[in-house]
Amino acid sequence: MFKLISLELRKYRFARMIGYAAMADLALLLFLALIGFTDYGAEDYAYSGYPESFELIDTFVRATFMIFAGGTSLKNDRRGI
């Protein structure tokens, strides 16, 4: 069973996708930190409360997920799967 799982992982190149997802997570973290540092001290601070913070984070995470889902489905369509 382990052999079959490893073959499937190699077939679909999940290791590469995990690396790309890690890079996207790091970029997302840095972008959100940049927003926090540049906006600090403003009257309408982006992270002024939990609802505003989670709404901003949720928006960027959903956008990142949509991009990855689109890229994954497009990659599988080209292979005829």
Kindly list the domain boundaries of the chain, sorted by start residue.
Answer: 16-78
pTM, rounded to two decimals: 0.67
Return the exposure string of 34-59: e unless at least 16 CB atoms fall within 10 Å of the residue's CB, then b.
eeeeeeeeeeeeeeeeeeeeeeeeee
- The band of 62, judged by pLDDT with boundaries at 50, 70 and 90, is very high
Q: How far apart are CA 5 and CA 20, in angstroms?
A: 21
**Contact 17/61 with Cβ under 8 angstroms?**
no
Measured between alpha carbons, how far is 63 from 81 in angstroms, rounded to an integer?
Answer: 25
User: What does the pLDDT look like over 21-61, one tens digit per residue?
Assistant: 888 889 999 988 898 888 887 777 777 888 888 898 899 89
